[in-house]
Homo-oligomer: A and B are copies of this chain.
């Protein structure tokens, strides 16, 4: 998505340690009118897949998932990162390691919110090593539901998460795929 690549290079900050900060439009401040266009693009890509629910993970995925869901006219379910007393024990759970935060979270979804007949579109802001996406696929499969695919805003295509997950047969659509990046040159994008 050309407008997204332009926005990443205009507003994104590449920092030491393989960090891309897009907090000006994606994961701290959210450019809602722009993210609506991202949501429309996910709809264009998956509109024929009879999506019944969008699954994401807190926190950064929630905004883009909600803006996308309105085009599909379906609900969002967001996996939660820790066990609150507001949740029952009747949950699917998996462990997800975070590259950014250097920790591992138990992630849960209440069982009643994913049914075997559901056709799940997974939406997330980033794909790098693929840990979050693998976890969300696992939760969907635990529920006996169908993963129709994953819509990712930014993929770090020089890391192996996308390849590993595509190799399992899951359709992954990333709107911007970064081939390489550095503080000096910014991001170079992959088109294939």
Binding site for B on A (CB under 8 A): 17, 19, 21, 23-25, 27-33, 35-36, 58-59, 62-67, 69-70, 73-78, 80-81, 84-87, 100-102, 109-110, 112-113
Tell me whether A30 and B78 are in contact (CB under 8 A).
Answer: yes
**Copies per complex?**
2
One of B32, B67, B77, B100 near A84 (C-beta < 8 A): B100
The docked-state distance in angstroms from the alpha carbon of A77 to that of B26 is: 10
The docked-state distance in angstroms from the alpha carbon of A192 to that of B33 is: 35
Tell which of A24, A25, A29, A110 has the most Cβ of chain B within 10 Å. A29
Which residues of B have CB within 8 Å of A28?
77-78, 80, 87, 109-110, 113
One of B59, B64, B65, B86 near A58 (C-beta < 8 A): B59
Given known contacts A30-B62, A30-B75, A66-B67, what 16 new A-B pairs fall within 8 Å (CB)? A19-B86, A23-B110, A23-B113, A24-B112, A28-B109, A29-B76, A29-B77, A31-B75, A32-B66, A32-B70, A32-B75, A36-B70, A59-B81, A62-B62, A67-B67, A85-B101
